[in-house]
Structure 1
Amino acid sequence: MESLSLADLPGGDNFRDVTSIFVDAAAEMESGDLILRDGFTLQDAMSAFEIGEPRLDSGMAGDADPRAPFDIWAPLLPEEICWIIDRSFTLEMLWHAGNTLAHTVFTCLYALVASELHPDMLPYGLPNDALRPVQLIPVVLRASICGMLKCCDLSWRELSKGHVHDTEDWQSDKGDTSLLEGMSVQNVIATLDGAAAWLVRSRKVPDPWATALVARLNLRKALLQIMDANIFKAPSDFLDLINIARNHLKTVRAYPSPDLGPESTAHLAFDPYIARKLNSTVPIRVIDVPSVTKMWHSIDVLLDGWEEQRLLSLTANVSTWELVGHLRTWLPSPPLRTPYSRSSTQSVFYDGLLVLNKFNLTWVMDRFFFETLGVSYQSVFHFVDRNSQSQRPPPWSDIQRGALQGMSFLMTEYIRALWYNPCRRRRFFMKSLVDLHIYYTRLTDIAANLPPDLPSTNVMKHLPACALVWRLSVIREVILSGFQLELYTSEEKPFAYWYAAQVMDAHLACLDDMLLAVEPDSLAARELRFQHSLLSALQAMAMPMFALSMPLMSFAWRQMYANFLRRYKWAFGRGYELSLVPVVAAPNFDNFTDLCGRMLQDKTFSPSDSFSLAHSILVQLIDSRAVGGYAGLWTDERIQLLRNLADACQRLQNVPTSMSALPAFDVGLLKWDPQIHPWFPVLEPEGAEQRRNKHVRRAEPYPS
Structure 2
Amino acid sequence: MHSNAVTGVTSKIADFDLDNDQINLEPPGFAAYNSEPPPAPKLKSAGIVSLDITEQFVNAAKQLELGELVKDPHFTLFESVGALEIMDPKMDSGYLQAGETMEDDYDFSQLLLPEEIIGIIDQLLSHEMAWHMGHPLAQTIFTSLYIDRILDPCPISLEQTYFDKSESCEDEPLMHQVLRAYCLGLLKTCGYVNQRVKSEHYYEEEDFVTHTFHRSLLENIDHELIIELLEETIERSQGCIGLRLGFRASFLEIVEAADSRTSLEQVKTMWTDFQLLLPGLKSTTKLGKPAPTSFSAKIQRKLASTVPPRPIVQVSQEAAFDQLERLCRDGAVAVEVLKYYDSHSLMTFVSLFQARKPQPSVYIRTLLQHYIFGDMIMLGNMSIRQVLDDDLSTTVLPASQLLDRANDEVEFPNDPRFKMAERMELFRSRAAGSFLDILRTICQNRCRIRRTLCHTIADWDILQLDAEELDMQLREFTKETPVRDREISDEPIYSFSLSSWAYFYKLRQMEWIVQMGFELEVYQPDELATMYYYLQYLAKTRSRHLERIKGFNFRGFNAIRNKKTAGDASHDEYTKALTFVNFSTMEAAATYGLADSLSCLFTVLDRLSLIKPPPRPYSSDQMRYELRLKPFLLIGLPELIPFTDLTNAVSQPSESTLSLLKYAAEAAMAAKRGFEVLSKLSAQEAFCQGSHDSWIKNVKDCLKACIFTGISIATVKKAVEGMDKNGSKELKIRVEIPKTGKGYHDWWVVPKIIPVS
Q: Same fold (TM over 0.5)?
A: yes
CA distance in 1, matches of 2:484, 2:402: 18
Give the corresponding residue for 2:628.
567
Is 1:489 the counterpart of 2:524? The answer is yes
The CA distance in 2 between the partners of 1:178 and 1:45, in whole Å, is 35
Q: Does 1:434 align with 2:458?
A: yes
* Match runs of 1:19-58 below 5 Å: 48-49=81-82, 56-58=91-93
- Taking a change above 3 Å as real, the CA distance of residues 273 and 585 of structure 1, as seen in their structure-2 partners, is farther
**Deviation, structure 1 residue 544:** 2.3
Q: Distance in 1 between matches of 2:363 and 2:512?
A: 24
Partner of 1:671: 737
Of 124, 131, 140, 1:88 maps to 124
Give the drift of 1:256.
3.1
1:554 and 1:396 map into 2 onto residues whose CA distance is 57
1:414 to 2:414 alignment: no
Counterpart residue identity of residue 189, structure 2? C
Q: Is residue 2:311 matched to residue 1:286? A: yes
| 8 A contact 1:163–1:343 mirrored in 2 | yes
Say which is worse superposed, 623-632 or 171-180, in terms of deviation. Answer: 623-632
Aligned-partner Cα distance in 1 for 2:116–2:78: 41
Instruction: Note closer, same or farther for the CA distance 1:597–1:669 as it changes in structure 2 (3 Å cut).
Output: closer
Alpha-carbon contact 1:330-1:641 (below 8 Å) kept: no
**Hey, what's the Cα distance between the residues in 1 that align with 2:690 and 2:375?**
27
CA contact 1:169–1:339 (8 Å) conserved in 2: yes
Given that residues 683 and 692 in structure 2 are in contact (C-alpha distance below 8 angstroms), is that contact kept between their aligned partners in structure 1? no
How far apart in 1 are the matches of 2:588 and 2:288? 53
Choose the corresponding residue for 1:636, options 693, 701, 704.
693
Partner residue in 2 for 1:515? 550
How many angstroms does 1:648 deviate by? Answer: 1.7
* Corresponding position of 2:150: 114
Offset of residue 10 of structure 1: 6.0
CA distance in 2: counterparts of 1:665 and 1:351, whole angstroms: 59
User: 2-side partners of 1:558 and 1:10: how far apart?
Assistant: 38
Q: 1:141 to 1:453 in 2, by over 3 A?
A: same
Give me the whole-angstrom Cα distance separating, in 2, the residues matched to 1:140 and 1:378.
66
| 1:95 Cα offset (Å) | 0.7
- 1:94-173 equivalence runs, <5 A: 94-114=130-150, 118=161, 121=164, 123=166, 134-137=173-176, 139-173=177-211
2:301 equivalent to 1:276: yes
3-state SS of the aligned residue for 1:113?
helix
Which residue is equivalent to 1:308? 333
Partner deviation per Cα, 1:339-367 (whole Å, 9 max, x = no partner): 11111211111124322233333223212
Aligned to 2:583: 530
Q: Distance in 2 between matches of 1:378 and 1:664?
A: 67
Select which of 254, 270, 274 maps to 1:245: 274
Change (3 A) 1:529 1:664: farther
Q: Give aligned pairs, total.
A: 624
What is aligned with 1:40?
A: none
2:239 pairs with 1:211: yes
Say whether 1:228 aligns with 2:289: no
Give per-residue Cα distances to partners, 1:505-547, cap 9 Å, x unaligned: 0111122233342669744433333332222222122112222
Counterpart Cα distance in 2 of 1:378 and 1:269:
70
- Greater shift in the superposed pair: 585-594 or 223-232: 585-594
AA in 1 matched with 2:331: W
Match of 1:78 in 2: 114
Classify 1:281/1:424 alpha carbon distance in 2 versus 1 (closer, same or farther; 3 Å): farther
Match for 1:648: what amino acid?
Answer: A
Query: Structure 1 length as normaliser, TM-score?
Result: 0.78
Shift of 1:548: 2.6
- Bigger drift between 250-259 and 104-113 goes to 250-259
User: Match for residue 465 of structure 1?
Assistant: 500
Percent of aligned pairs sharing the same letter: 18
User: 1-side partners of 2:669 and 2:202: how far apart?
Assistant: 41
Distance 1:64 1:11, change over 3 A: farther
Aligned counterparts of 1:82 and 1:558: Cα–Cα separation in 2: 58
1:369 equivalent in alignment to 2:423: no
Q: CA contact under 8 A between 2:150 and 2:163: conserved in structure 1?
A: no
Q: 5+ residue gaps in structure 1?
A: 13-43, 200-209, 387-391, 577-581, 695-704
1: distance between equivalents of 2:275 and 2:527? 47
Partner of 2:9: none
Deviation of 1:491 after TM superposition, in Å, equals 4.0
Q: Given that residues 231 and 310 in structure 1 are in contact (C-alpha distance below 8 angstroms), is that contact kept between their aligned partners in structure 2?
A: no
- The alpha-carbon distance between structure 1 residues 665 and 398, as it changes in their structure 2 partners (threshold 3 A), is farther
For the Cα contact (< 8 Å) 2:525–2:737, is it kept in 1? no
Aligned residue runs from structure 1 range 295-694, under 5 A: 295-315=320-340, 317-332=342-357, 335-373=358-396, 375=398, 379-380=402-403, 399-447=423-471, 450=475, 453-454=481-482, 462-516=497-551, 517=553, 522-550=575-603, 551=606, 559-573=620-634, 582-598=636-652, 601=655, 603=659, 605-625=662-682, 628-657=685-714, 661=720, 669-676=735-742, 677-684=745-752, 687-688=753-754, 690-691=755-756, 694=757
Q: Distance in 2 between matches of 1:374 and 1:558?
A: 48
Could you list the runs of 5+ residues in structure 2 that have no partner in the other structure?
A: 1-45, 56-76, 153-159, 411-415, 486-492, 558-570, 722-728
One-letter amino acid matched to 1:592: L
Deviation per CA, 1:407-460: give whole Å up to 9, x if none: 012111211111111222112211111221223234434555645744599996
With over 3 angstroms needed to count, the CA separation of the structure-2 counterparts of 1:384 and 1:352, relative to structure 1, is closer
> Kindly tell me: are residues 125 and 584 of structure 1, through their superposed partners in 2, closer, same or farther at Cα, counting changes over 3 Å?
closer
1:594 CA displacement: 2.8
Q: Describe the shift of the 1:7–1:661 C-alpha distance in structure 2 as closer, same or farther (beyond 3 A).
A: same
Distance in structure 1 (CA, Å) of the matches to 2:700 and 2:239: 44
In structure 2, what residue type is equivalent to 1:492?
A: E
How far apart, CA to CA, are the structure 1 residues paired with 2:733 and 2:647?
A: 20
1:196 Cα deviation (Å)? 1.0
Q: 1:20 — aligned with what?
A: none
CA 1:661/1:613 → structure 2, altered by over 3 Å: closer, same or farther? farther
**Which amino acid letter does the alignment assign opposite residue 153 of structure 1?**
G
Partner of 2:29: none
Q: Letter of the aligned partner of 2:624 in structure 1?
A: N
Deviations 1:480-500 (A, max 9, x none): 111111112334322211110
Query: Equivalences for 1:53-64 in 2 at 5 Å?
Result: 56-63=91-98
Residue aligned with 1:669, SS: strand
- Secondary structure at the aligned position of 1:641 is classed as helix
Q: Any conservation in 2 of the 1:322–1:418 contact (CA below 8 Å)?
A: no
Cα displacement string for residues 11-45 of structure 1 (whole angstroms, at most 9, x for unaligned residues): 89xxxxxxxxxxxxxxxxxxxxxxxxxxxxxxx99
- TM-score computed with the length of structure 2 as normaliser: 0.73
Superposition RMSD in Å:
4.1
* Cα pair 1:524 1:629 within 8 Å, conserved: no
Bigger Cα displacement from structure 2, 639-648 vs 175-184? 175-184
DSSP 3-state at the match of 2:374: coil
Larger radius of gyration: 2
1:430–1:570 contact (8 Å) kept in structure 2: yes
Cα offsets for 1:573-593 (capped at 9, x unmatched): 3xx5xxxxx512534323312
SS at match of 1:372: coil
- C-alpha distance in structure 2 between counterparts of 1:372 and 1:302, whole Å: 35
| 360 and 267 in structure 1: CA distance in 2 versus 1, 3 angstrom threshold | same
Deviations 1:284-308 (A, max 9, x none): 3335523323222212221223222
* 8 Å contact from structure 2 (residues 244, 281) kept in 1: yes
